[in-house]
Structure 1
Amino acid sequence: MIVTPRCKLIKLASGDLDDVIQIYKDPLVRRYLGGTTDDELLLKNKFEEVLSKSKMPGVYFWCVRLIKDDQFIGFVSLDRYHDGKNIELSYELLPQHWGNGYATEVVRKMIDYSFTEIDLPKIVSETQIANASSCKLLERVGMKLENRLMRFGAEQAVYSIERT
């Protein structure tokens, strides 16, 4: 378990299915991530795929819960990036928890964890240019815009930060 001042990050487990499916079904969360689906089998298969992937070396998926009441608020991961050489930091929080600083708190902790605990030299995060809130968050935690590219039918911003 990884702890921030207000959140705890717990490794993804099979019992997290219902919580994680909230993320996959939420249209606001999925607005810049390919949309939602109500197909329960597809959702369960997607979760099982992520759970299986989380058991691979160098791949990490955590559920984010509030310390005060154990409420599920989102999902964060460190996973192989599309380029095959970098590790990507991704995060998705439920909309009712946006604007409270939880994402910034969790992302900062993940950057620190990446550099101090798993000794990564660099991490990247990719988000749609249209997702201004996510771009601002990545800049707020010290990540720099490294590249813009077209992927998934939209212009993407690739941010990065290197261990100092």
Structure 2
Amino acid sequence: MAATETGADGRISTANPASGLSCRTARLDLAPFRASDSAALLRVFTDSDVRRYLLDGDTVSADWVAEEIRASTRRFEAGAGGLWVVRRRDQAPIIGFAGFREFFDPPEPQLLYGLLPQYWGEGLATEAATAACEFAFHTLGWSEIRAAIDVPNTASRSVLVRLGFVPDRTTDDGTAFYVLGRDAARLQVVGGFATGA
């Protein structure tokens, strides 16, 4: 697994983008999901506030988390975006996740992020989502990023808007779709890594 600090231009660089980068932002450390993270990720994914919008309130199992870890690893190995655990910089506890996961039929990668509620309101979700977007645009070469949220999820909508996402469509079931083009992204280099403007 490659680890990286960003270069002088503030961009992530690596010889092998499929290796599943570990990234460092001004306040966060992000590392690809690993099997050893399963218990901590289960705590995050089963938190009632995290799963309210992310999982439509459904409770997930340890087996579900294990499969998410395996699927994320496969996506990184295939040269696509996967999911990272999020920690405060130089601290051990996992406080959330960010990255990309396929949804819908046909499957398309969507930006996904979530933090335990005690870390809300500090701009950390924006910082983690920005790191994921930087990876997608500048390491994987994506031209656009998509995200879907439940309409009542105003906190996630605020994160997307800060990054420059624009509404694409809203479905009858209350899912709002957003898109971010590489040229429209409001990503700014701060502290050696991109964070939301």
Query: CA 1:14/1:52 → structure 2, altered by over 3 Å: closer, same or farther?
Result: same
TM norm structure 2: 0.75
Residue 96 of structure 1: which of 118, 128, 132 is its match? Answer: 118
| Counterpart Cα distance in 2 of 1:99 and 1:22 | 20
Question: Quick one: which amino acid aligns to residue 39 of structure 2?
Answer: D
| Counterpart Cα distance in 2 of 1:69 and 1:79 | 25
Secondary structure, counterpart of 1:62 in structure 2 = strand
Residue 177 of structure 2: which of 136, 139, 158 is its match? Answer: 158
Question: Quick one: which amino acid aligns to residue 180 of structure 2?
Answer: I
Residue 55 of structure 1: which of 52, 60, 73 is its match? Answer: 73
Q: 1:13 deviation in Å? A: 0.5
Aligned partner of 2:147 in structure 1 is 125
Which structure 2 residue ranges, 5 or more long, are not aligned? 1-21, 184-197
Matches within 5 A, 1:60-99: 60-84=82-106, 86-99=108-121
Question: Quick one: which amino acid aligns to residue 9 of structure 1?
Answer: L
Matches within 5 A, 1:98-113: 98-113=120-135
Aligned partner of 2:35 in structure 1 is 14
Question: Quick one: which amino acid aligns to residue 177 of structure 2?
Answer: V
| Counterpart Cα distance in 1 of 2:107 and 2:57 | 27
1:135 and 2:157 are equivalent in the alignment: yes
Secondary structure, counterpart of 1:136 in structure 2 = helix
Kindly provide the CA deviation profile for residues 59-90 of structure 1, in whole angstroms up to 9, marking residues without a partner as x: 41110011142321101121234253642110
Q: 1:94 deviation in Å? A: 0.4
Tell me how many residue pairs correspond in the alignment.
157
Which structure 1 residue ranges, 5 or more long, are not aligned? none
TM norm structure 1: 0.89
Query: CA 1:163/1:85 → structure 2, altered by over 3 Å: closer, same or farther?
Result: farther
CA RMSD of aligned residues (A): 1.6
